Structure 1
Amino acid sequence: MIFLLMVVSGFCVPLLAERLGHKTGINLVTEIAQLRTHCIDSAQGLMEILSFGRERRALTALQIKHGKLLQLQSRMNHIDALSQALILLLTGLALWLALYFGVQLVLAEQLNGVNLALIAFAVLAAFEAIMPLPLAFQYLGRTKKAVSRLLDLAEQKPAVLFTEKDNNSDFSGKYSIEFNQVSFAYPEREAIFENLNLKINQGEKVAIVGSTGAGKTTLIQLLTRVFDPASGVINIANTHIKNFSESSLRGLMSVVSQRSHLFNMSLRDNLLIAKPKASDRELYQALKTAQLLDVVEQLPEGLNTWVGEHGSRFSGGQIRRIAIARAVLADLPILLLDEPTEGLDPITADEFMKSLTELMVGRTVLLITHRLTDVQDMDKIAVMENGQIIEFGTEAELLGANKRYAGLYAQYHLI
């Protein structure tokens, strides 16, 4: 009889808990994820929420989600309480049966009283081992859902597959860039490029200008192999980029963009991402090149100053100068600049471009911009429209041709 009660406690009650808690556990995982997302979005977009007077609406949405989460947690607690009560009931019943029959044996002098106590303790110990099972089964649905979310992420196939080793590592220091008949389209969208051709020679500085949506930033995404083109060939140093391993390709180019990210750690650690073994002297020299040394020297803890989430300790222009300092430390032969002055006021943008001058020396440079004053020090300018290079040459040549660039130039200087 006691064995039967143990089977009910260790098998039937956990299955009941699993059945009652399966759907609730799955909903619990979903609600927790949605609540976290809402909290992060609200915190990061607090300025916009306050600006449009939507703080009450955001708070109401938070309270609704929090209320749903509390309801689910309350239901899980009720299920837990029910399963634990059943286990305790069955444990008490088994103990009562053991003592009842044991006392009869003791009275009949067929069992020693000390042994009866040991039997009672053995029954309690057996049911104590069973006690956690209902709770584990109750949260099984939640655990499966959480594991499923992790596996969905882990099993996603990368958009680009790199080779493990370089197929050709002899570049002779000639780091040219060439797009040859390149076509590309984002999933479920019209083509961005159709048979695009562009050649940037070693040490040449080329700017790409054009309207928003022309495909300028996509050039850098293809160069860094965030995506691969549908057709055509992209060469670096006369070598197909698919012949580079990931580490080799990343070791050829630095990227400075309008979205340069700072991690929530010290300024020193943010800089060491580019060169982990850099000395303090190298760090200060890089900051000097980026024209940020005076700012850093005034910080309370210098290089050890915590930058805050998303670099909140610094302005947008200073964050981009830190990105320049990283590029200086990395000292790579190709420099990719993706709208580096976007969002900066004209004076700050001009000063920022001046700080890039030293970094560009001797490097192959591709600058993406819509700000025509940024292209003055470029060797060549390419005008892109609808995924095609429609003009290419020096600024003087393009102005002399009196076509698209000349029109952009005239319009820009009238603003």
Structure 2
Amino acid sequence: MSRNAARQADRWVMPFFKRYWKALALALFLGVATFGFASGLMVTSGFLISAAAEMPGSILMVHLPTLFVRIFGISKPILQYLERLTSHDWVLRMTSSLRLKLYETLEGDAVFFRRSHRTGDILGLLAEDIGHLQNLYLRAVFPTVVAWLVYALAVIALGLFSPWFALAFALVLGVEVFLVPLVSMLANRARVERRKAMKNELYGELTDNVLGASDWIFARRGAEYLSRHQAAEQAMRDENARLDRFARRRDLASTAVFGIAAACLLVWAGGYFGGAPGGASNWIAAFVLGFFPLIDAFAPLPAAATEGCVYRDSVRRLNELPQAAEQGESAPDIEAPLAIAIDHVAFSYPGSARVVLDDVSLTIPQGQKVAVLGRSGSGKSTLASLIRGDLAPTSGSVTLNGMPASRFGDDMAKHIGVIQQQTYLFNMTLRENLRIGNPAATDDEVWEVLAHVGLADLARRLPEGLDTLVDEAGMRFSGGERHRIALARVLLQDTPVILLDEPTVGLDPVTERALLDTFVENAQGKTLIMITHHLQGVSAMDRVVFVENGKLEMEGAPAELERTSERYRHLLAFDRGIAAG
């Protein structure tokens, strides 16, 4: 990709420069003014010291430089405060917008994000890449532009006295402003990129190994895991040490350049203003001392250039994220009863030639209980995603009361309640976990749904009742209890459709049967769609649909299929055999 094409494709840096350009311009002006007043303070102080050394006959003879020392001395910290306030406000406004955009991007693709990214990648995006963009603005863009402006103004100011010396001074100081940052960037580019890659990998490895810590321990390989992690940490420390060694040598070179520039300025000022003591010679100290505050403007340039590779990698990673869906037209306004219609649907995932669903047609009227069965990879979970509107079909249509499911967005939660394989409970109270789908639910409504799902007695036995913390990930409760809590959430939402996406995976047969009975009992009058891979509980369904290789292979009432389909009877016997065993 060309540089122009990359700039046009950027969605994370340039748009925010354009949005906040006024604040940026004000921050740059205040930054340059701060260094100007700092230099002015040293210029007037140098002149005042030289003039006072002549022991003037009256204080009035140094009154004017004294006045300017006070003006610059008072104004400089005020300007510095305003510059920091403006620049940090500008940066924090942008990074808050960046974080909001990142959360919207992750949320919009949350259902499928884990297919292409590890948990560590998400942590890296949140903790590292957004932080790098904040530093890009605060430690690279802002100080670099301010330094270039100060450099230009300093050369122009010297040019008013001596154009030839201004050119020579520009060449000497240009070594620090342009050459040292360029050399620093070229010398450390590979190291910085390697360190960034190592840190990204550490995020992935650490989260992966922490989530699987029990497996390391049960396999008696905990020491091996620790040694691997320590080796990775040591490799990154070694990389940091090499970068630090180069930085110390680079800073020594920069100090030498500043010393040479100050010496050149002293020699030139001595020749230009030299002669009899007093008078114009007082400007010698003024010019030399006025240069030293400007060093603080130029010193950050090499480090900013070195870190540029990190910023580029962060921008690249962020631009590779799927684009957040723009807020288009409002979601369709529909009311129960809801009819779900799947009409000649075909679907393939982007970048894949495999057809996951092929010419699938299915109609589910309000109140019907349907079991969608199929082996892993058959397309049944993709079908559930199409019904929820998380995906749009490649061809054909999936509609609710005639409206495309993909148009509902977040409003789909008003119509379809979902219970997934792994119910997540947040580290909040039981009441807060139950009211996630309906924050306005009263305690009476909460107790009512708990009674419906068979958890009222359990809730009363908890130390603080509904105010009891459920612990992180709901570890206080068993798998079956967590699924019942998920059902209680859906019942509080009071959606006309309940979608069960293999909710009994990992449960023992007795708990599974009891949980399925609870689901069916509490879905009276509602549409119940159960995605599953075996036939446990399907006898309570009105209809069974078999999905195989992306097509509907069998469809009908359970009793009818058991009577007419040899294949169904074989599958049923096989499933019951597993349950019996």
Using the size of structure 1 for normalisation, the TM-score is: 0.87
Q: Which residue of 1 aligns with 2:362?
A: 198
Paired residues of 2:417 and 2:497 also in contact (CA < 8 A): yes
Paired residues of 2:275 and 2:281 also in contact (CA < 8 A): no
Superposed CA deviations along residues 146-195 of structure 1, whole A, max 9, x for unmatched, are 12111211xx257x9996235x6455x22122222222334535333322
Structure 1 unaligned regions, length at least 5:
none
Q: Which residue of 2 aligns with 1:283?
A: 446
Paired residues of 2:337 and 2:496 also in contact (CA < 8 A): no
1:265-304 equivalences in 2 (<5 Å): 265-304=428-467
In the alignment, the residues of structure 1 paired with residue 379 and residue 228 of structure 2 have an alpha-carbon distance, to the nearest angstrom, of: 38
Greater share of residues in helix = 2
Q: CA RMSD in A?
A: 2.9
The percentage of counterpart residues that share the same residue type is 30
Paired residues of 1:6 and 1:127 also in contact (CA < 8 A): no
Alpha-carbon distance, 1:258 to partner: 0.9
1:118-267 equivalences in 2 (<5 Å): 118-153=286-321, 156-157=322-323, 164-166=329-331, 169-171=333-335, 173-186=336-349, 187-188=351-352, 190-242=354-406, 244-267=407-430
Larger radius of gyration: 2
The letter of the residue matching 1:10 is V
Alpha-carbon distance, 1:218 to partner: 2.1
Paired residues of 2:389 and 2:409 also in contact (CA < 8 A): no
Paired residues of 1:29 and 1:146 also in contact (CA < 8 A): no
Paired residues of 1:21 and 1:141 also in contact (CA < 8 A): no
- Which one is further off, 124-133 or 183-192? 183-192
Alpha-carbon distance, 1:2 to partner: 5.0
The letter of the residue matching 1:42 is N
Which of the residues 211, 217, 220 maps onto 1:50? 217
In the alignment, the residues of structure 1 paired with residue 430 and residue 180 of structure 2 have an alpha-carbon distance, to the nearest angstrom, of: 55
In the alignment, the residues of structure 1 paired with residue 429 and residue 251 of structure 2 have an alpha-carbon distance, to the nearest angstrom, of: 49
Alpha-carbon distance, 1:332 to partner: 0.9
In the alignment, the residues of structure 2 paired with residue 360 and residue 336 of structure 1 have an alpha-carbon distance, to the nearest angstrom, of: 11
Residue 64 of structure 1 pairs with residue 231 of structure 2: yes
In the alignment, the residues of structure 1 paired with residue 380 and residue 476 of structure 2 have an alpha-carbon distance, to the nearest angstrom, of: 31
Residue 311 of structure 1 pairs with residue 474 of structure 2: yes
In the alignment, the residues of structure 2 paired with residue 238 and residue 354 of structure 1 have an alpha-carbon distance, to the nearest angstrom, of: 31
In the alignment, the residues of structure 1 paired with residue 280 and residue 439 of structure 2 have an alpha-carbon distance, to the nearest angstrom, of: 73
- Which one is further off, 338-347 or 204-213? 204-213
In the alignment, the residues of structure 2 paired with residue 304 and residue 318 of structure 1 have an alpha-carbon distance, to the nearest angstrom, of: 17
Paired residues of 1:14 and 1:83 also in contact (CA < 8 A): no
Q: Which residue of 1 aligns with 2:95?
A: none
Residues 14 and 301 (structure 1 numbering): CA distance in 2 closer, same or farther, change over 3 Å?
farther
1:2-21 equivalences in 2 (<5 Å): 2-21=169-188
- Which one is further off, 38-47 or 347-356? 347-356
> SS of the residue aligned with 2:356?
strand
Residue 330 of structure 1 pairs with residue 490 of structure 2: no
Higher relative contact order (CA 8 A, sep 6+): 1
Alpha-carbon distance, 1:223 to partner: 0.8
Using the size of structure 2 for normalisation, the TM-score is: 0.64
Q: Which residue of 1 aligns with 2:506?
A: 343
Residues 163 and 117 (structure 1 numbering): CA distance in 2 closer, same or farther, change over 3 Å?
closer
In the alignment, the residues of structure 1 paired with residue 431 and residue 244 of structure 2 have an alpha-carbon distance, to the nearest angstrom, of: 47
> SS of the residue aligned with 2:359?
strand
Structure 2 unaligned regions, length at least 5:
1-167
